[in-house]
Amino acid sequence: MIKRIAIGLFVTLAVLGCGKKTKEAEPTETSMTPMNMSALPDSRAMKVVRGEMPPDTVIAQIGDTKLTAGTVKMLIEFRIASIINQIPPDRADSIKASMLKSTVEQFIEKSVLLNEADRRKIVATAEDERKALEEITKQLPPDVTIEQAIEQSPWGKKNLMLEMTASIKTKKLIDQLIQKDLPVTDEEADKFYETNKAQLDKPDRINVSHILIMIDKEDTAEIKAEKKKQLDDIRQKIADGADFADMAKQHSNCSSSKVGGVLGELHRESPFDPGFKDAAFKQKLNDLGPVVETQFGYHIIKITEKKPAQSMPREEIIEIVRRQKQGAIIKDFIAGLREKADIKYPTEL
């Protein structure tokens, strides 16, 4: 939660350098940052993300601050830009629609925080803005200046600066609320660790490479014997000095052959064949193991790294608990602001 609010300071990055330059969006009534809400019918959500709803339609409102359908659509487009090429075209609109509620919720949360910051007369100084722009510049590609990024943004310089100023103010407000060194008791840390031990501790692990000659269910004993001999011959070549990775690229039937047989890190609960795991964990570091048979075929295994089990350091556990406590403070604070705010979700969109 804390991190999300803090990152709001650099939300501008979400709209910088998004590819082709498009027409600058109409200025919004306030700066808005994306967040999780109550119910808007899916059919209306689809109309919003497809641009079928009039862009000035008010989706949510706090006092005089309005979130319009056009702004929601633009925010969702920014959020999904980095993954759009990984989404099947026939699912893009439905995934965008699923983001609508969280986008509206972020507007509500950001707005109540900004209103409270204004009530407390918190301001963004010129020095604050200079530092924020410096941080944003550090995160841009080396060949892109902040001026170029702003120029390429469809949101427009005015809205970007409004967003940055609002984010600085809300971050200052959050900093007033929480102790950065909020105390964590031994009892709290112990309870958290015991409850989450399986996720916090790392088991013993190994980095594994292999060469696989696959067998089919229909293979006769004779064919299987031929395949095993093929792998025995490959193993002998490696023992005589051939490079394991080269042999994997030339002969392995596993997709890992493209990377020299590298399977990556493996622990005892990894979803691998039990016989394969058992053989791998018994094998010595950098040894060329014997041919191992599994349900998939015949393998030569090589262990390139062994990592002993590790418990999460105490200081990291304490820091996680501290962040959770800080997050709970912020969550309760925002809930209180929402109760007092005049929040409306127009029913006729």
Q: Per residue in 262-305, pLDDT tens?
A: 999 998 888 889 999 999 999 999 999 899 999 999 999 999 99
What counts of helices (H) and strands (E) characterise the chain?
13, 7
Separation between Cα atoms, residue 347 and residue 343, nearest integer Å: 13
| CA distance between the termini of the chain | 31
Identify the segments of the chain with pLDDT beneath 50: 1-41, 347-349
pLDDT for the residue numbered 2: 38
Query: What topology does CATH give the domain 2-182+323-344?
Result: Triger factor/SurA peptide-binding fold (1.10.4030)
Report pLDDT digits (tens) over 211-268: 999 999 899 999 999 999 999 999 999 999 999 999 999 999 999 999 999 999 998 8
Phi, psi of 154, rounded to the nearest 5 degrees:
-75, -10
| Level-2 CATH architecture, domain 205-307 | Roll (3.10)
Separation between Cα atoms, residue 227 and residue 180, nearest integer Å: 62
Q: Which residues of 305-328 are buried (b: 16+ CB within 10 A; e: fewer)?
A: eeeeeeeeeeeebbebbbbeebbe
The residues spanned by each domain of the chain are: 2-182+323-344, 205-307
User: Which pTM does this prediction carry?
Assistant: 0.61
